[in-house]
Amino acid sequence: MTIALAMISGGLDSILAAKIIKGQGIEVIGICFKSYFFDEAKAKDMCKTIDIPLVVVDFSKEHFNMLKNPKHGYGKNMNPCIDCHAMMMKYTGELLDKYKADFIITGEVLNQRPMSQNKRSLDIVKKESGFSNKILRPLCALNLEPTDMETEGLVNREELLDISGRSRTRQMELAETFGIKDYPSPAGGCKLTEPNYSKRLKDLLKYNDNPDNKDIGLLRYGRHFRMGNSKIIVSRTRDESTYMKKLIKKEDFLFFPKDHPGSMVILTGDKTNEAIEFAANISLRYSKGNTEEKITVKYGNYGTIANKYIDAININDENINEYSINI
C-alpha cells in the first residue's frame, strides 16, 4: 500500500492536503514539529478531524540554532520561514524509511505568502531539504511541474488542485465539503510571526546568545523592560503569574508591594542597585498603590521568604517607556 507522510502544521491547508491524498486510498501519517515557538496542540485536533495518526518531532534545539543565523534570512518579523520549512522537510524525509513511506505532502500554496511561498522559495525549500523528488504539494500541484509520484502513478494528478494566491475561498469551500468545521485562522501558531514577541526575542539574543528554555519561555508573558544586562518582567494577569512561576529561576528576584495587592515583578540577569530600584518602582506602578507617591516594596530570591525592603517611588510614563521593550 502507498504511504505518505503529511507535514501537519495544525492549520487548514495542511489538513486539506492530507485529506485529498487520503481520499485517493493512500495511507497518510501526520508529522508535526515542536519547537520553543510552536507546538503540536492544533495539529493533534486537526488530525483527529480526518482520522489520521500523528507523530510529533521535537527539534527545539536544532531549530533555535538555525534561527540565530538563517541562511535565507527572516520574514517580516523573526520568522525564518524558508529555512524552517526546509529543515522540517529534511526531518520528514529522514522518516520515510522508518514508516516505509513513499513520499511527503505539504499544505503549501503557491503565492499564498509573498516571501516564503513564491515559486523560487518553494524550489529552494525542496532542494535544500535533500528530498526534492519526494515532495508533493496537493493544493497547488497543477500550477507546478508533475512530480515523480504523479508520473509514476502513485498519485492521480487529475484529483490534485491548482490553488494560487492569498484568497482562502477555495480552502474554506473544501473544508465545508469535507465536513471540517473547526479550524484555526490562517495566522497560525508560530510566535516568531508576532511583532511584539519578535522584538522581545531580538532583545534577549542581544544580551544572551545562548538562552535556555526558561529564558525563551518567559518571552510569552507579561510586560518586559530592559536595563543593560538586567531584565524586568511584570505579569498582567493571575494566570500569567502562574505560568511565569514555572519558568523563574532561584537566582531571580521577585518584587511585591508590602501593603498593596499588585502584579508579580521579576528581575533577571544583573541585580544592580539601579535595576532593583526600577523593579521596585514598576512594582508600585502595577499595584493598587499606584496613586501614592511612595510605598514599601519587599523582594528576595524566588523560592525564599522576601525579607528585603525598598522604598519605591511613583515614576511617569516617560521613565517607564525609556526601558520598555513592548510595542
pTM of the model: 0.89
Do 122 and 221 share a structural domain?
no
Pair (142, 12) in one structural domain: yes
Tell whether 103 and 42 lie within a shared domain.
yes
In the predicted structure, residue 187 carries a pLDDT above the cut 60: no
Kindly state whether residue 327 falls inside one of the protein's structural domains. no
Question: For 197-207, how does the pLDDT look when each residue is reduced to its tens digit (9 = 90+)?
Answer: 999 999 999 99
C-alpha span between 253 and 259 (Å, rounded): 19
The answer to whether residue 269 is domain-embedded is yes
Instruction: Report which of residues 110 and 230 the model is more confident about.
Output: 230
Does residue 261 fall inside a structural domain?
Answer: yes
Residues 133 and 237 in one domain: no
- pLDDT of 308: 95
Kindly state whether residues 245 and 157 are assigned to the same domain: no
| Mean pLDDT within 21-42 | 96
Is there a contact between 284 and 277 (Cβ–Cβ < 8 Å)?
A: no
How does residue 51 score in pLDDT terms, banded at 50, 70 and 90?
A: very high
Same structural domain for residues 47 and 177? yes
Per the structure, the complete domain to which residue 210 belongs is given by 194-321
Are residues 178 and 300 both part of a single domain?
no
Q: Report the domain count for the chain.
A: 2
Q: Which of 171, 190, 209 finishes a domain? A: 190
- Same-domain pairing of 186 and 57: yes
Nine-digit cell at 270? 544583573
65-101 residue pLDDT tens: 999 999 999 999 999 999 999 999 999 999 999 999 9
Q: CA-based diameter of the chain, in Å? A: 77
The answer to the question of residue 326 being in a domain is no
> How confident is the model at residue 169, as a pLDDT?
92
Q: What is the mean pLDDT of residues 44-68?
A: 96
Mean pLDDT estimate for the chain? 94
- 267 pairs with which residues across the strands? 232, 253
Q: Calculate what percentage of the chain has a pLDDT beyond 70.
A: 98
Confidence of residue 319 (pLDDT cuts 50, 70, 90): confident
Query: Residue 47: inside a domain, yes or no?
Result: yes
For 278-290, give the DSSP string.
HHHHHHHHTBTTT
pLDDT of 189 > 90? The answer is no
At 186, the pLDDT band (50, 70, 90 cuts) reads low
113 with 136, same domain: the answer is yes
Torsion angle of the four alpha carbons 86, 92, 96, 98, in this order, in degrees rounded to the nearest 10: 140
pLDDT of 114: 63
Identity of the residue numbered 246 = K
Q: What is the CATH number for 88?
A: 3.40.50.620
Q: Residue 262 in 3-state DSSP?
A: strand
* pLDDT at residue number 94: 97
Q: Which helix (H) or strand (E) holds 87?
A: helix 81-93
Do residue 48 and residue 176 come from a single domain? yes
Strand partners, 287: 262
The residue out of 157, 172, 190 marking a domain boundary is: 190
CA distance 156 to 152: 9
Question: Per-residue DSSP letters for 192-247?
Answer: GG-HHHHHHHHHHHHH-SS--HHHHHGGGSSEEEEETTEEEEE-SSHHHHHHHHTT
Q: 244-292, pLDDT tens digit by residue?
A: 999 999 999 999 999 999 999 999 999 999 999 999 999 999 999 999 9
- Last residue of some domain: 190, 206, 229? 190
Q: Is the residue at 270 inside a domain?
A: yes
Does one domain contain both 52 and 163? yes
Q: What is the pLDDT of residue 327?
A: 60
Q: Which residues contact 224 (CB under 8 A, 6 or more apart)?
A: 200, 203, 231, 232, 233, 324, 325, 326
Regarding whether 150 and 17 lie in a shared domain, the answer is yes
